[in-house]
Structure 1
Amino acid sequence: MTPLERACRAMCEARGEDGFPILNADPDLGDYPLTREGTSDLCPFTEADVLTLARAVLQAIREPSEAMISVAEDREKFGYDPLPSETFPAMIDAALEEG
């Protein structure tokens, strides 16, 4: 799953939805998928809305804050020269802590 897809799922889940409806819907069970044309009972946004919002969030955090940079440069936190896969989650955690 791409970061954009994860962001879309997280946005719907934050609203109490069961994941990203267009990926989870099962018409055989009475679910109706989110469509590009309109919303469904599962989510108040169109697919295009959710993708636009998720993309905007990812673009907004493209430039790290001072706290994010600080944690990424904190070699003592990791005890060695960390990999990007280790610093990125720490940077996001720092952004979340900033509020």
Structure 2
Amino acid sequence: MTAEEIHKQIVLPAIAKAEREIPNLNFKSFNDTTPLYGPPGAVLDSLNLVSFVFLLENFIEGQFKKKIEITTADVLNGDRPPFANSLALSEFLAEKLK
């Protein structure tokens, strides 16, 4: 799958699911370049990040029968953080799901 396909079929549906299921999330002013985690104004705080990652991993496993681990130390501390925005997350997942 391409990053664009992953964005449409995994990331955006997972974000919609997270908004319904994780308390205190507000994706109302969200767009593809809105920071998901990290800088001030990011949608996810550290607690919500854990919930979102769990939801995303389960969503991928349920929909695509692929088990992936998103949060490892090298991922979170790497040069290209996957939670910079939804496009970065889609690119990261495209690599993981090859």
Instruction: Give the TM-score normalised by structure 2.
Output: 0.30
Larger radius of gyration: 1
Which one has the bigger helix percentage?
1
